[in-house]
A and B are shown apart, each in its own frame.
Chain A
Amino acid sequence: MAPYASYVIAGYLITAATLGGYTLGLFARARAARRRAEAIAQRRHAR
């Protein structure tokens, strides 16, 4: 293994985790906001 290859691997893994994690986080936030809006609207209609 080339010297310092572990630093390069760590760098690319950190980048993948950051970009992937942020993207998944945005999907989760979008889903949660949609559910919250729908739940509030549904409760209103139920009254």
Chain B
Amino acid sequence: MAATAERALGKATSRNGERILGVLAAVALGGSLVLSLVVAPPDAVQGEVQRLMYIHVPAAWLAYLSFAVVFVGSIGYLRTRKTRWDRIAGASAEIGVMFTALAIALGALWGKPVWGTWWTWDPRLTTTAVLLLIYIGYLSIRRISDNPSRTARWCAVVGIVGFVDVPIVHLSVVWWRSLHQGPTVLRLGGPEIEGTMLLALLVGVAAFTLVYAYLMTLRLRVGRLEERAAREALSPVVEPPVEAGV
């Protein structure tokens, strides 16, 4: 099982796999753009501004996925002490921070015309801001590199503990009275959203997932190259043997 996963990861992170993922992600993003801006009808209440949901929701879901990968990578590192797990967790955290920041920015853009404000200290928004801060902190810890194995250990602990906020963010609209709307897709009783709108949303999620996979392969390659550069800089210089009589 682990060997199969390793082989699949190896194939995906090869230069060819990276290129194929890039093309697939670009095509999926194009399809998602057409579905969300042309095919899906405007919302009966919110009008055109609801189209922001087709990128806001996938960005938020991909942030969850990214931090779930950080969680798995952190557990993997603590169990095996293999740097590969730490590299995967670090790469996913960076991408997750980008998706979280994007989800917050898009939510603010939607909030201004619909709620009349860019930002409010609503449970969903506040817990998401906390999530962003947790993983910015995680990335800051990664830069403390006086002892790489200690840094990886600290990061693994933060990666596991920080993930606790993900279900809190998701369920905040159920647990507390919130201005943010409740779940419309992942809810008991099935999605309560019109068919074409649901299709546009799901294609958006699929496209963002492919973008995530592509960015992961690229970010893992950057990690490997940066480690190689650091190894070259730190490896001892082999002095040529001193000739007799010199």
Contacts and interface: CB of A to CB of B under 8 A. Distances in A.
B52 A11 contact: yes
Given A11-B110, A15-B59, A22-B215, A30 B225 contact: yes
Scoring B47, B59, B211, B222 by chain A CB atoms within 10 A of each residue's CB, the highest score goes to B222
B112 interface: yes
Given A11-B106, A14-B109, A19-B211, A26 B219 contact: yes
Nearest to B111: A7
Q: Is the interface of A mostly helix, strand, loop or mixed?
A: helix
Interface of B: 33, 37, 42, 47-49, 51-52, 55-56, 59, 95, 98, 101-102, 105-106, 109-110, 112-113, 211, 214-215, 218-219, 221-222, 225-226, 228-229, 232-233, 237, 240
Given A18-B101, A33-B226, 18 more contacts: A2-B47, A3-B47, A3-B49, A4-B49, A7-B109, A7-B113, A8-B37, A8-B48, A11-B106, A11-B110, A23-B218, A26-B222, A34-B225, A40-B229, A41-B232, A44-B232, A44-B237, A47-B240
